[in-house]
Amino acid sequence: MKLDILAFGAHPDDVELGCGGTLAKEIALGKKVGIVDLTRGELGTRGSVELRNEEAAAAAKILGVSVRENLDMRDAFFVNDEAHQLKIIEMIRKYQPEIVICNAIDDRHIDHGKGSKLVSDACFLSGLMKIETEHKGEKQQAWRPKLVYHYIQWKNITPDFVVDITGYNDKRIEAILAYGSQFYNPNSNEPETPIASKNFLDSLNYRAQDLGRLIGVDYAEGFTVERYLGVNSLGDLI
């Protein structure tokens, strides 16, 4: 299956938190979108792997993505080496996306910056014909995405561009809250974590509103890029 956009996250919920509104909007515009999670978030303080799997499937359904896969890398301990790059290359060649979106380039959780560089490196390597990979016994063709974007997570990173997600913020929040074990719930007996605080839950809306405010819309999500953004005409940026 060929996809237009493939979004990677080190943990299930990274993609929803980083670019859920953008993906919901692109899907509504007719784009085919998939999600690949690197790990199952098995070291997360709250919840369990089984619960997280169910939550990830529910969130994928809410967003309307065509496919969601998990590469079963080790939470916190995966590294950016040949074996891990080849697993990502196999996904890129399988789905042949024009655009790849991946983790924040730098963040509080060490997997985010690490996952960001791993996916970015694999996007480049995937275009080299002499790197041979197979999927289900069949030799794969080289494929390099045209663009690699990075979403923004815990830290406030200045975006290179923002996407207007007005009209899609409710769906974004619904997909995030599908991870009931991870976020603020005053009735939960699980340990406190930074992302389970009320402050973090509130930040999901106020950051999107703030990024939206700066471009004159209600809600937006921000991204960073790896090369200059090119436009055909000045009007493209209105």
Contact residues toward Zn ion (CB under 5 A) are 11, 14
The nearest distance, CB 1 to Zn ion, in angstroms, is 26
Measured from the CB atom, the residue of 80 and 96 that comes closer to Zn ion is 80
Closest residue to Zn ion, judged by C-beta, is 11
Question: Least distance in Å: CB of 225 to Zn ion?
Answer: 21
Residues 6+ apart with CB under 8 A from 28: 64, 168
Q: Name which of 108 and 135 has its Cβ closer to Zn ion.
A: 108
Structure tokens at 152: 């923004």
Nearest 5°: the CA angle 100, 103, 106 is 135
Q: Of 13 and 90, which CB lies nearer to Zn ion in the complex structure?
A: 13
Q: CB 195 → Zn ion: shortest distance, Å?
A: 8
3-state helix, strand, coil in the chain (%, to 5): 40, 20, 45
Nearer to Zn ion, 188 or 193 (CB): 193
Distance of closest approach, residue 109 Cβ to Zn ion, in angstroms: 5
Q: 144-157 burial string, b = 16+ CB within 10 Å, else e?
A: ebeebbbbbbbeeb
